[in-house]
């Protein structure tokens, strides 16, 4: 489990370092996750090492604990949230709509690249 955690933290550290060096407008952990996905897809050929899979399962099982610091942060800034609620709601709605639109555009692009389904129209219905 320790080597797998070191792998995950190493990817995060590499992502953070790349963001600091390039001033990329992306959070370091996101870039680290992208690097991990590229490594798993290209180098490991989609096979997730057992230790990494088990460690990820443990982290996912306790994912709710990772939201405690964010919840505490929200509680500390309730006055600011109350003062800027309209901008927060507008940003949430707009970002949700943009995410849905981006997903739809990406899905259409992927579907265009897939081969069409085989045509089984030989004059009979599906039940023979």
pTM: 0.56
Task: Tell me, letter by letter, the H, E, C secondary structure of 36-90.
Answer: HHHHHHHHCCCCCCHHHHHHHHHHHHCHHHHHHHHHHHHHHCHHHHHHCHHHHHH
Count of structural domains within the chain:
2
Its domain, for residue 102, covers 67-114
Residues 1 and 40 in one domain: yes
Provide the residue-wise pLDDT of the chain in tens; the chain has 128 residues: 898 999 999 999 999 999 999 999 999 999 999 999 898 888 877 788 889 989 989 999 998 888 888 888 888 999 999 999 999 999 999 999 999 999 999 999 999 988 888 776 655 555 55
Residues 16 and 35 in one domain: yes
Residues 53 and 10 in one domain: yes
């Amino acid at each position: 489990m320790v080597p797998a955690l070191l792998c995950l933290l190493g990817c995060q550290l590499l992502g953070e370092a790349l963001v600091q060096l390039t001033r990329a407008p992306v959070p370091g952990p996101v870039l680290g996750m992208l690097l991990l996905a590229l490594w798993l897809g290209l180098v490991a050929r989609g096979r997730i090492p057992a230790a990494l899979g088990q460690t990820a399962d443990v982290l996912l099982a306790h994912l709710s604990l990772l939201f405690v610091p964010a919840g505490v942060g929200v509680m500390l800034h309730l006055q600011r949230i109350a003062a800027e609620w309209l901008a927060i709601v507008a940003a949430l709605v707009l970002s949700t709509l943009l995410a849905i639109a981006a997903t739809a555009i990406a899905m259409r692009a992927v579907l265009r690249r897939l081969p069409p389904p085989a045509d089984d129209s030989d004059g009979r219905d599906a039940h023979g």
